Chains A and B, each alone.
Chain A
Amino acid sequence: MSTPTAADERLARFAVSPARRRKDAIARRTILGATIVALIPLVLIIYYLLSKGLGAWNANFFTTDPTGNTFFKNSSIGGIKSAILGTIEMVALASAIAVPIGVGVAVWLVEYGKTGWFAQAVRFFVDVLTGVPSIVFGLFIFIVLVVGTGSSFAGYKGSLALSLLMLPVVIRSAEVILLLVPAGLRESALALGAPRWKVIFSIVLPTALPGMVTGVLLAVARAAGETAPLLFTAASTKKTSFNLGGFMNSLPVQIYGDVTSPTTAVVNRAWGAALTLVTLILLLNLIARLISRRSRLA
């Protein structure tokens, strides 16, 4: 701590000014605050799901159908077996419809349509479709397949409504990922004398697979959590059903029905069902990631 040397003076022009430090501190705290505010509801959701949902879970919860008795004790109201299986069945069928079509549309947009007028029109309508409220898809299927055919509610009609909901999400996410596949990979495969379809199947799709799995899972998660498209397409039932041509229960519809009940035990079953739904999607996420990682190395 002596008098400033020549070296200190040379250093002075690199010194950070107090005003700069203050601005930096304020900016850092603001964005940290925003992050914390965003985390609050997330933490609360997980907390309530676990604290209320775990209480409803017991051995019978997953193995019995809801009984419909809502004015008796916990033991007699039944579990959510039909809802779990119904959701899995309907979402599986919806995925089987939406994923191949969606990936196909994305491949066409990226590899063939490119910036042509028709491709641009398709992108526009896909964007419009993304913004359509889920109940409108349910209404559409209701008008066309329930009222239109004069027939009853059915699981497959719910699946169709869900697949309409998934389609734009799958298309858009797959398109973004396919665009990320380096053009050099396509070029070098084409330059080897590979026909375009083989380039797509052997090079482009495997490279894009891990990213596309993420997009597909987003769509599946969204579909699995939707109540509105199912209410008047698949309706609901208490019995476990493996017939997609008949009424079918689902977790969101079960939750929707249960929370409006005056009985505490039934409301708690809604929490248990909600926790089940979140766990199912988490499990699906894990499995899909493991599969896509393994296939990438192979």
Chain B
Amino acid sequence: MTPTRPDTKVADVDPHGQSDLDRVSEPEYAETEQPPAARARMTPKSPDTNTGAHTGLSVRLEQLRAFYGAAEQVKGIDLDFHANEVTAIIGPSGCGKSTMIRCINRMHEEIPGARAEGRVLLDDADLYGSSVDVVAVRRAIGMVFQKPNPFPTMSIFDNVAAGLRLSGRRGGDLHAKVETALRGASLWDEVSDRLDEPGAGLSGGQQQRLCIARSLAVEPEVILMDEPCSALDPVATLKIEELIAELKSTVTIVIVTHNMQQAARVADRTAFMLDGKLVEVGPTQEIFTKPDDPRTEEYVTGKFG
């Protein structure tokens, strides 16, 4: 397939006209050298100042390639994640879904020998620009991992506060922020009377919601979820899915999942990946009912993968 194909598709199905807006604003940055990189530092911080009106930001991938040593795992992806929407990434194991989303918050490069090429734009700011601080990128783009991994030495309270403390944002009422984050993750009612107990003592589903609360506490604009329910039972999974639906009013969510029903339940848009390439992206309903590509149809109907 040609690399231009997903681009045109994106423009076609974009309900908000977001990408058109982006294109209009692009010439402004062409005039001055620095702004996109400089904004990457500024954007994560500006929404924090007005705590009430917190909202998600759009993310755009342009010809994103990711490598492990010489092996190319993500082979040139163009993809838009719309602000305050849930985008699901589906595809068979090893197709590069996780690698791709790890490039968005620059976690991919933490693996020895791994590197990424191309552009990742957070609300037009190139996160791979030369003056970008990766730490600032990760404050703006949170991540929830496959296995719930609360910090074992910390209490429930400290786990949620950890994000604020570790990223050097001690200001304000810590207790209020922790409560807000726990409420945001629908965990407050279950743990409010035992905030001092170790986070590792919770059930798997509660631990995963604790991890979501932990990433919510730093008020990111985007949350990446890498198969967040694969280690959880159906009841815990349902709670996380309900949570995702609530969260999208304040953040943009990208969720990698192997569970097609989950993608259908939670995602506004779904992207199908195969062998490191984007096959197709569109409104979830369309991807599951009348996909353009025969490979997508085969995958979502369970004929392979």
Chain A positions near chain B (C-beta within 8 angstroms): 114-115, 182, 184-185, 187-195, 198-199, 202-203, 206-207, 209, 296-297
Closest Cβ of chain A: how far from B261's Cβ, in Å? 26
Interface pair B105/A206, CB less than 8 Å apart: no
Taken together as a complex, chains A and B put the C-alpha atoms of A148 and B211 apart, in Å, by 59
7 inter-chain pairs at a CB distance below 8 angstroms, sorted by A residue, are A115-B112, A191-B105, A192-B138, A193-B135, A199-B166, A203-B166, A296-B153
- CB contacts (< 8 Å) of A114 on chain B: these are 112
Closest Cβ of chain A: how far from B154's Cβ, in Å? 8
Interface pair A192/B145, CB less than 8 Å apart: no
- CB contacts (< 8 Å) of A184 on chain B: these are 145, 147, 149
Interface pair B149/A193, CB less than 8 Å apart: no
Taken together as a complex, chains A and B put the C-alpha atoms of A194 and B107 apart, in Å, by 12
Taken together as a complex, chains A and B put the C-alpha atoms of A230 and B136 apart, in Å, by 52
With a 10 A CB-CB cut-off, give which of A187, A193, A198, A207 has the most chain B CB atoms: A193
Is B162 engaged at the interface, CB distance under 8 Å to the other chain? yes
Closest 6 CB pairs of A and B: A193-B139, A194-B166, A191-B143, A193-B138, A192-B163, A193-B167
Residue of B at shortest CB range from A196?
Answer: B135
- CB contacts (< 8 Å) of A192 on chain B: these are 138-139, 142, 162-163, 166-167, 214-215, 218
Taken together as a complex, chains A and B put the C-alpha atoms of A131 and B137 apart, in Å, by 46
- CB contacts (< 8 Å) of A182 on chain B: these are 149
Other-chain residue from A198, A207, A209, A296 in contact with B166 (beta carbon distance below 8 A) = A198
Interface pair B166/A202, CB less than 8 Å apart: yes
- CB contacts (< 8 Å) of B215 on chain A: these are 191-192
- CB contacts (< 8 Å) of B218 on chain A: these are 192-193
Other-chain residue from A188, A198, A296 in contact with B211 (beta carbon distance below 8 A) = A188
Closest Cβ of chain A: how far from B26's Cβ, in Å? 28
Is B152 engaged at the interface, CB distance under 8 Å to the other chain? yes
The verdict on A189 contacting B166 (CB below 8 Å), with A115-B112, A182-B149, A207-B152 known, is yes
Q: Which of B144-178 contact A (CB under 8 A)?
A: 145, 147, 149, 151-153, 162-163, 165-168
Other-chain residue from A191, A199, A207 in contact with B153 (beta carbon distance below 8 A) = A207
- CB contacts (< 8 Å) of A206 on chain B: these are 153
Is B189 engaged at the interface, CB distance under 8 Å to the other chain? no
Taken together as a complex, chains A and B put the C-alpha atoms of A185 and B162 apart, in Å, by 12
Interface pair A190/B110, CB less than 8 Å apart: yes
Closest Cβ of chain A: how far from B286's Cβ, in Å? 32
- CB contacts (< 8 Å) of B166 on chain A: these are 189, 192-195, 198-199, 202-203
- CB contacts (< 8 Å) of B214 on chain A: these are 188, 192
- CB contacts (< 8 Å) of B163 on chain A: these are 192-194
Taken together as a complex, chains A and B put the C-alpha atoms of A206 and B166 apart, in Å, by 14
Taken together as a complex, chains A and B put the C-alpha atoms of A297 and B142 apart, in Å, by 27
Taken together as a complex, chains A and B put the C-alpha atoms of A190 and B163 apart, in Å, by 9
Taken together as a complex, chains A and B put the C-alpha atoms of A297 and B105 apart, in Å, by 32
- CB contacts (< 8 Å) of A190 on chain B: these are 107, 110, 138
- CB contacts (< 8 Å) of B140 on chain A: these are 193
Other-chain residue from B136, B137, B151, B167 in contact with A203 (beta carbon distance below 8 A) = B151
- CB contacts (< 8 Å) of A115 on chain B: these are 112
- CB contacts (< 8 Å) of B137 on chain A: these are 193
Closest Cβ of chain B: how far from A117's Cβ, in Å? 13
Interface pair B152/A185, CB less than 8 Å apart: yes
- CB contacts (< 8 Å) of A185 on chain B: these are 149, 151-152
- CB contacts (< 8 Å) of B105 on chain A: these are 191
Taken together as a complex, chains A and B put the C-alpha atoms of A296 and B165 apart, in Å, by 18
Taken together as a complex, chains A and B put the C-alpha atoms of A294 and B107 apart, in Å, by 33
Residue of B at shortest CB range from A182?
Answer: B149
- CB contacts (< 8 Å) of B110 on chain A: these are 187, 190
Closest Cβ of chain B: how far from A272's Cβ, in Å? 42
- CB contacts (< 8 Å) of A188 on chain B: these are 143, 145, 149, 151, 211, 214
Taken together as a complex, chains A and B put the C-alpha atoms of A207 and B165 apart, in Å, by 17
- CB contacts (< 8 Å) of A296 on chain B: these are 153
Interface pair B138/A191, CB less than 8 Å apart: yes
- CB contacts (< 8 Å) of B165 on chain A: these are 202
- CB contacts (< 8 Å) of B145 on chain A: these are 184, 187-188, 191
Q: Which of B97-125 contact A (CB under 8 A)?
A: 105, 107, 110, 112
Closest Cβ of chain B: how far from A298's Cβ, in Å? 8
Taken together as a complex, chains A and B put the C-alpha atoms of A203 and B139 apart, in Å, by 17
Interface pair A193/B136, CB less than 8 Å apart: yes
With a 10 A CB-CB cut-off, give which of B145, B151, B214 has the most chain A CB atoms: B151
Residue of A at shortest CB range from B167?
Answer: A193
- CB contacts (< 8 Å) of A193 on chain B: these are 135-140, 163, 166-167, 218
- CB contacts (< 8 Å) of B162 on chain A: these are 189, 192, 202-203
With a 10 A CB-CB cut-off, give which of B105, B139, B147, B153 has the most chain A CB atoms: B153
- CB contacts (< 8 Å) of A209 on chain B: these are 153
Taken together as a complex, chains A and B put the C-alpha atoms of A203 and B112 apart, in Å, by 20
Taken together as a complex, chains A and B put the C-alpha atoms of A41 and B24 apart, in Å, by 83
Other-chain residue from A187, A194, A207 in contact with B167 (beta carbon distance below 8 A) = A194
Taken together as a complex, chains A and B put the C-alpha atoms of A127 and B55 apart, in Å, by 54
- CB contacts (< 8 Å) of A189 on chain B: these are 151, 162, 166
Closest Cβ of chain B: how far from A108's Cβ, in Å? 15
Other-chain residue from A187, A198, A203, A207 in contact with B107 (beta carbon distance below 8 A) = A187
